[in-house]
Amino acid sequence: MNNFCKEVVRKLDEEIKEFSFEEDNIILLSEAVVELILTRIKEIKEYVLEKGFKDIEEETHFFKKVKPNIVSKLIYYNAIYKIETKKPYGGDKALKKYLENEVTKLKRFFDNNLDFYRYYRTNSTYLDHKYFIRGKYDIKLSLDTYFFESDHSFSTSHDYKAAKILANDLIQVYLEDQLFNKNINTSARNHLSVPSPLNWTSSKTALIELIYALHSHATFNNGLVDIKVIAKTFEEVFNIELGDFYHT
């Protein structure tokens, strides 16, 4: 099961990267990637329903880590498609308000799901048997209406919510980039108004190792922040481009 899913995810990531190189229009790119991800999810679903899981641990891992990783990409690109197609005309002021409202939506989701956010981000396991096992839902654990309409043979009560958490981190980075690139001040994040006087003069690898160390120790926001957000901040503060720091 794990090998099959890893291969599908690897192939998916390569295909998304190829699409990104070939298509500059973010709307067309998002539309194409959504269709691609849906195809890959269908492949995994068919495999899961046919092969099943060897034990509870494998099932938990799949619905806690594997499926959310893939579905988060779907949520992200679908969100970007909606954000871009609904952008208002009328200059920076209207765009600023629109983007800040989108950031507020992310914060609202965070506030409404704070307990699960902490549980998932701290890699807790004591409720995994209710969150990530099929047919073991507990209505007292803040279930979304979406769950009751989903295919319970391929869903648990919280796998989609886990995917939403991962996707929201990426969406936040996207929105902040939009605001920063257009020199729009936003209450969502206090960007530097003047260039930073600090330049990172050591190796990129050294800075990336530092970022990973800080992230692993939950140094920022009690650990409730994606490593991409941290990396982006370090790039701005130290005037450096880290590129594909995952591979580095």
pLDDT per position as a tens digit, 229-238: 888 889 989 9
Residue 7 pLDDT grade (very low, low, confident, very high; cuts 50, 70, 90): very high
Supply 217's token pair: 């120790």
Residue 228 pLDDT grade (very low, low, confident, very high; cuts 50, 70, 90): confident
The percent of residues above 70 in pLDDT, for the chain, comes to 92
- Would you say 76 and 33 are in contact if contact means Cβ atoms under 8 Å apart? no
Q: Residue 248: pLDDT above 90?
A: no
52-66, 138-152, 164-178: segment of lowest average pLDDT? 138-152
Q: Residue 147: pLDDT above 90?
A: no
**Cα separation, 232 vs 53, whole angstroms:** 38
Average pLDDT, the chain: 87
